[in-house]
Amino acid sequence: MSSVPSATQWGLPASSNRRALLIHGLTSSSHTWERVAQALVEAGYFVVAPNLLSHGFRHGTDFSVGNLAKDIQPYFVDTHYDIIIGHSLGGAILAELLPFLAHRRPISAMLVDPALEVTPDIVDVLKIKISDCIANVRPIEAYMAENPNFTRVDAVTRIVGLHMYMSVEAMVQTFAVSTWRFSRAWTSRVTVDWTAKQPLVVWKAPLQGST
């Protein structure tokens, strides 16, 4: 029996007729989705946001994108989600899951600023930048000043994610493959709209799978 990773949940499954799964980005945590999740709950969704391996105080040995995707597959056992959103690294993980999801009922998959194709030069820059973020967590006000759209809750959840991240070594392993590449032709059952329709949203993909 597969173990289910830790997660944060919003809403009540018994009183919600729709479900959403939210996949956070690198050095974040499930708490990062607080504002988005609350909005989805108000729209009638029961919301689940897993903590990825190496995040949310979760330890492990394999932090590759493929294994991060495999790790959250237990959330799909006997459960259907109407919408799945992945941000940054979470977008790459969602892309990895698309062939798996294509065999299920139709799903809307939204990838927000996804890290799909990262060149070796970008990887080197990210290693330095993220290492600094982990080692030098700043005050709440600094994150709010840097991100004008941040509320105080957003800044707090950003700090929480950094404190809960496992280690720089885990991040280096995630980037061990110098370039992440995902084919646009996953399966004939998946149709993808590659036109950006909202700020930061690269595409919205209705997955046309069998029931």
The domain of 64 spans: 7-177
Asked if 48 and 74 count as a contact pair (C-beta separation under 8 A), the reply is no
Question: What CATH number is attached to the domain comprising 105?
Answer: 3.40.50.1820
Using alpha carbons only, give the angle 178, 6, 207 rounded to the nearest 5 degrees: 65
pTM as predicted:
0.82
Asked if 167 and 54 count as a contact pair (C-beta separation under 8 A), the reply is yes
40 lies in some domain? yes
Joined tokens for residue 132: 């600094």
62 lies in some domain? yes
In 3D space, the residue among 29, 141, 159 whose CA is nearest the CA of residue 88 turns out to be 29
166 lies in some domain? yes
Cα separation values, 157 from 92, 124, 190, 206, 209, Å: 21, 26, 34, 30, 35
135 lies in some domain? yes
H or E segment to which residue 23 belongs: strand 18-23
210 lies in some domain? no
195 lies in some domain? no
Q: Number of folded domains in the chain? A: 1
pLDDT tens, position by position, for the chain (211 residues)? 335 568 999 999 888 889 999 999 999 999 999 999 999 999 999 999 999 999 999 988 888 888 999 999 988 888 888 889 999 899 889 888 877 775 656 778 888 887 777 777 777 888 888 889 988 999 999 999 999 999 999 999 999 999 999 887 787 778 765 444 544 444 333 444 444 443 333 334 444 433 3
Biggest CA–CA distance in the chain, Å, is 48
211 lies in some domain? no
59 lies in some domain? yes
Helix/strand/coil for 18: strand
